[in-house]
């Protein structure tokens, strides 16, 4: 570690909350850098991945599934549509709402971005064995499930 870098107190550096926060910050930077290579951001990936996994969806459903505010979904879908990655079309069952679908180019981009996510995971978790990675994922999932049920 760089001797001139700011240090947190030792008592703090050994707390799980501090360790999780520092690791999450590092993971976020790695993902942002990886997505920047695609000239996209994390919320773009969430939308593309949701469409790739579950198929076409209304903007509102897409926002709910991805945890993105409705107004932000509109802006992100506009951006993705402008890049030819998704198409927005009126829902034949309810013409007041739009259905968002991946284009072939969008599906290809979603796949490339998923590859980027995989590379980032490998970089982030490099010091861990396969079994340790699985255990870490299991424990983090358990913590998240506990705190999101409240």
What whole-number distance in Å separates Cα of residue 140 and Cα of residue 146?
10
Number of domains making up the chain:
1
pLDDT score, position 56: 96
Q: What number of other Cβ atoms are within 10 A of residue 70's Cβ? A: 11
Q: Is residue 70 situated within a structural domain?
A: yes
The rounded Cα 24 to chain-centroid distance in angstroms is 12
Q: Please compute Rg for the chain using Cα positions.
A: 19
Residue 96 belongs to domain with CATH number: 1.10.10.10
The answer to whether residue 21 is domain-embedded is: no
Angle made by CA atoms 105, 107, 112, in degrees to the nearest 5: 95
Distance between CA atoms of residues 50 and 59, nearest Å:
12
Within a domain: residue 73?
A: yes
Q: Is residue 75 part of a domain?
A: yes
Q: Assess if residue 83 is contained within a domain.
A: yes
Domain range spanning residue 36? 29-148
In a domain, 77, yes or no: yes
**What is the pLDDT tens value at each position of the chain, 150 positions in all?**
555 555 778 778 889 999 999 999 999 999 999 999 999 999 999 999 999 999 999 999 999 999 999 889 999 999 999 999 999 999 888 888 889 999 999 999 999 999 999 999 999 999 999 999 999 999 999 999 999 986
What confidence score (pLDDT) does residue 149 get? 87
């Amino acid at each position: 570690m760089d001797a001139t870098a700011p240090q947190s107190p030792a008592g703090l550096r050994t707390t799980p909350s501090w360790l999780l926060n520092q690791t999450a910050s590092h993971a976020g930077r790695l993902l942002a850098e990886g997505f920047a290579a695609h000239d996209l951001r994390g919320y773009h990936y969430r939308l593309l991945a949701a469409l790739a996994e579950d198929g076409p969806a209304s903007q509102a459903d897409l926002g709910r599934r991805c945890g993105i505010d409705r107004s932000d979904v509109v802006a992100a879908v506009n951006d993705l549509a402008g890049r030819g990655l998704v198409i927005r079309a009126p829902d034949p069952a309810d013409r007041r709402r739009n259905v968002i679908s991946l284009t072939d180019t969008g599906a290809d981009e979603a796949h490339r971005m998923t590859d980027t996510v995989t590379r980032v995971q490998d970089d982030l978790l490099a010091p861990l064995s396969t079994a340790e990675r699985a255990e870490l994922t299991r424990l983090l999932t358990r913590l998240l499930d506990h705190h999101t049920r409240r």
